[in-house]
Structure 1
Amino acid sequence: MTTPSHPAEPPHPHLTDGVLGVFTRGSFALSDGTFLYDSSYSLTRDLGGRTVTLQLATTDPAEAHRLLPRLRHAVTHHADLHHRAVTAVVHTLSDGPRPPTTSPRPTPTSSSTPSKPPAPPT
């Protein structure tokens, strides 16, 4: 019985982002010595006091780089996104009236909205 040789690295095993960190593709060794590689890049990090795994569902590095700005935005604004998600669930499950949104529509002022329509020309 021979020990299987070290697995060949998958193409593009790492993807480095200056803001988020290093994404990797994991591998799994089967009992027959065959190695399987993840079909995505992933990174585990602390986010708001919780350990989360960020995942890019692609093996194509160009596609992964294209997805990074959206993922950076989600990480940067995670607190606001979490609040919005919780609020949406509460509204969906509650029977009461909905509170105003976080960005209410501007109310017209008396100088911008006349109290009665202008008189027709004579």
Structure 2
Amino acid sequence: MTNHQITLGAINLEAANPVALAKFWAAVTGAETSAGGDSVYLPPNGPGGFGMFFQPESEPRAKRQVAHWDLTVPWGSRAAEVERLIGFGATHQWDVLEEFPHVQWTTLADPEGNLFCIAEHPPVDQQRV
């Protein structure tokens, strides 16, 4: 039996303005952008990070977003992180704070409307039952 280890290499997004959207996500992740033609690559910022690749839109945006990413922050820091990201241009969409005992999250949209969540997980001994 072969042991497979799959890791996330990069999230790829089409964007109306790849440079501007990459700058927003560089502020979010703390990574440095690397432009190449009309596209921009944002490498992982550290061993647990993820890369992002932004390219020009090939056709109009779909009405429904079929996937989004969940970003995790330490317990107790979600609200401050949400405020920081709003300061960079994210838009608050909604909060889910009481629905699940193992997670609280805020859903945001980046400057081009792509949804993403900022989640925090309480320590096991603080989880509701």
Measured against the shorter chain, the TM-score band is under 0.3
The structure where strand makes up a greater share of residues is 2
The TM-score normalised by the length of structure 1 is 0.22
The TM-score normalised by the length of structure 2 is 0.21
